[in-house]
Amino acid sequence: MRRSGVIWSWFWMILGILYFFLPLLATFLFSLRAELGHLGFKAYSNVFNDPGFQLKFPASVLWAVLTIIVAIVVFVPTAYWVRLKVPQFRSAVELITLLPFVIPAIVYVFGLVRTFSQPPLLIVDSPALLVAGYTMLSMPYMYRAIDTGLRAIDVQTLTEAAQSLGAGWGTILFRVIFPNIRVSILSGAFLSFAIVMGEYTLAQYLAKPAFAPYIALLIQNKAYEPAAATIISFALIWACMGIIQVIGGGEQGQITGGH
């Protein structure tokens, strides 16, 4: 019984790995066939040399980084305050954070365009609106990751301990709360990064340079380059996440009780 359980565990794990990696492998092999008769990296070279890629991939990275910064600045104090001062509203706030799952992006983007394309809020051309939109889309991931991190620490007692030692709200937030939920913020940041890099609707309808609309355009006009761009984006996104991990990670005290 125990042995068969182990076999099934391995079976499902291998199945999961195949489900994830087989399409990636197929895409990769297809991307190598740009030149007739032999395998090579011609499609990759074409993508790297394409001015569209050179403009739109870094643009998406920039939007993602700005989104993460705005999301941290907005959601960490919000989640902290809700948990500390109005815990009775936690369920309501959680429900609000899930709205991007139930409101289709196309509805959302038309709402943004209608609201912000007329005075006094004429900012439809500003990149700030795109970042604000992405921040909303990242909310379910970012807020819940932060909230989970806050649940792992005794927010109220740590806050009161810091207050009794003379700390104000800013100090508490930046020197006590932020460092102790860093891992949760990072995981939320990873998800937000991936969401922004792959998001099509907002960038397309707000007419801003972004990577997802670029790939969509590439698919319509080329055969092998979209596959190469997909593999490149996959590798670059993972590299960017690694950089975030290096910058934001590092050694920190484990959050557990005494032994």
Partner 1 sequence: MTHLTLKNISKEFGDATAVQDFNLDVEQGEFVSFLGPSGCGKTTTLRMVAGFEIPTRGTITINGVDVTNNAPNQRNVGMIFQAYALFPNMTVAQNIGFGLRIRKESESVIKDRVAEMLSLIHLESKADSYPYQLSGGQQQRVALGRALANQPQVLLLDEPLSALDAKIRVQLRSEIRAIQKKMGITAVFVTHDQEEALSISDRIVVMYEGKIEQVGSPFEVYNFPKTAFVANFVGTLNTASAEVVDPVKGILSMDGVKFVSAENLQDRKKGDAVKFSIRPERFSFASEIKKDNVLDCTIENITFLGSVVRIRVKIGNTKFNMDTFNNPFLELPKIGDKDQVTCSREAVLVLDD
Q: Which residues bind partner 1 (CB under 8 A)?
A: 153-154, 157-158, 160-168, 171, 175-176, 179-180, 252-259
Residue closer to partner 1 (CB basis): 35 or 160 = 160
Nearer to partner 1, 60 or 187 (CB): 187
How far is 107 from 109, CA to CA, in rounded Å? 6
Q: Which is nearer to partner 1, 51 or 168 (CB)?
A: 168
The minimum distance between CB 163 and partner 1, in angstroms, equals 4
Helix (H, G, I), strand (E, B) or coil at 88: helix
Say how far apart CA 129 and CA 205 lie, in whole Å. Answer: 12
Q: CB–CB of 227/43 below 8 Å?
A: yes
CA distance 121 to 119: 5
Long-range CB contacts (within 8 A, 24+) of 234-240: 234/24, 236/57, 236/61, 237/193, 237/194, 237/197, 240/61, 240/64, 240/193
166 sits in the region (left: phi over 0; alpha: psi -120 to 50; else beta) called left
How many residues in total does the chain contain? 259
Shortest gap between Cβ of 186 and partner 1 (angstroms)?
Answer: 14
Closest among 145, 136, 142, 146 to 173, alpha carbons compared: 146
29 vs 86, beta carbon nearer partner 1: 86
In the complex with partner 1, the residue whose CB is nearer, 120 or 168, is 168
Instruction: Compute the least distance from the CB of residue 86 to partner 1, in Å.
Output: 15
Is residue 205 within 8 Å of residue 133, measured between CB atoms? no
Tell me which DSSP letter residue 182 carries.
Answer: H
CB of 166 to partner 1, least distance (A): 4
**Nearer CB in complex with partner 1: 51/166:** 166
Q: Which two tokens stand for residue 90?
A: 């936690």
Q: How far is the CB of 178 from partner 1 (least distance, A)?
A: 9
Minimum Å distance from CB 74 to partner 1? 22
Which residue, 94 or 154, is less far from partner 1 as judged by CB?
Answer: 154
143 and 75 Cβ atoms separated by less than 8 Å: yes
- Shortest distance in whole angstroms from residue 179 CB to partner 1: 4
Which of 144, 241, 242, 134 has its CA nearest to residue 195?
A: 134
